[in-house]
Amino acid sequence: MLSLYGQTFASRLLLGTAAYPDMGTLNQSVQAAAPAMLTVSLRRQSSGADCHGGAFWEMLRGLGVPLLPNTAGCLSVREAVTTAQMAREIFGTDFIKLELIGDDRTLQPDVFQLVEAAEILIKDGFRVLPYCTEDLIACRRLLDSGCEVLMPWAAPIGTALGAVHAYALRVLREAMPDVPMIIDAGLGVPSHAAQVMEWGFDGVLLNTAVSRAGDPVAMARAFALAVEAGYCARAAVPVPPREQAQASSPTVGQPFWHSAEYEG
C-alpha cells in the first residue's frame, strides 16, 4: 500500500484531469487506471464544450477517487498559499500538490519560494506534496520545512521525455530511502513509469501522457500495469548489471564442452 501522511492507497498511480477530449473519455480513463488520487486545479480551463462547470466537478465527485487539489500556475508564495486555502474549502481536503513555477519556458519549480510556501501551509495544517526538481539539497530543505512526501520531476511538464536526469534521480532516491517519492511530470510512455518504479520510487503522477494519447483509456490502463510491474520488479530484487557475459546454463555434464575434437 502507498502511504502518504498516514493515509494509505491501493494504487501507486496518480492521474491528472486536464486536457481530455471530453468527460466520457476522462471517466473511462479513470476507471481503467484505478488511480490513488486525481489531481484538480482551481485554474482548470477546459477545451471541451461539455467538460467544464458544475458537470465536471459533479463527475469527479461521483468517481469516488480522492482528489488532490494543486496550485498549478502560481508564481508567488502568496498566490500559492491563497489558492491552497481556497482549494481546501472547496474540496474538503488538507492534501495539496504545491506548485510554484519559476520559469515560463521549462515550467521548472522555484525551489526557493517552494520551501517558504511549504512551511506556511504545513503550519496551517496542510499535507503538502511539493512538485520539485531532483536537486538533493532543495529536497532536504523541503523535508526540513515539514514535508513528508516529495514529487520530483522526471522532465519538464508535458515533454514526455522520461527521466532526463536519471543519475540525479537515483542519487536522490538512494539518499532518502524512507521518504515517499512520487515522480511527477515528463513521463511519456509506460516503460518510463516502470523504469522509475524499478529504481525504487513509490509512485508516478501522469496527465499529458494519458490525456493527449491517441487512446487515453488504453494508455491509462497501460500505465497502471507498468507501475505495478515496476514496483513488483523492484521488490523482486533485480539481477545487477554486468560488463561481461555470464552463462546461465550449467557447464557440468556437457559431453563435448571444450572437447579437443570439436575445437576448430
Residue 92 assigned to a binding site = no
Question: Which amino acid would we find at residue 214?
Answer: G
Largest CA distance in the chain: 84
Residue 71 assigned to a binding site = no
Residue 224 vs residues 118, 162, 195, 237: alpha-carbon distances, Å: 30, 16, 13, 21
In the annotation, is 97 catalytic? Answer: yes
Q: Exposed, middle or buried, 223 (CB in 10 Å: 0-12/13-18/19+)?
A: buried
Closest CA to 147 of 167, 114, 122: 122
Residue 27 assigned to a binding site = no
Residue 158 assigned to a binding site = yes
> How many C-beta neighbours within 10 Å does residue 24 have?
14
Q: What are phi and psi for residue 129, nearest 5 degrees?
A: -115, 100
Residue 125 assigned to a binding site = no
- State the catalytic residue, choosing from 12, 88, 97, 192: 97
- Residue-by-residue DSSP string for 38-86: EEEETT----STTSSTHHHHHHHHHHTPPEEEE-TT--SHHHHHHHHHH
Closest CA to 208 of 184, 239, 191, 242: 184
Residue 174 vs residues 128, 181, 226, 231: alpha-carbon distances, Å: 22, 11, 22, 16
- Residues 71 and 4: their CA atoms lie apart, in Å, by 19
Closest CA to 72 of 57, 62, 84: 84
Mind telling me the catalytic residues? 97
- The binding site for 1-deoxy-D-xylulose 5-phosphate comprises 158, 185-186, 207-208
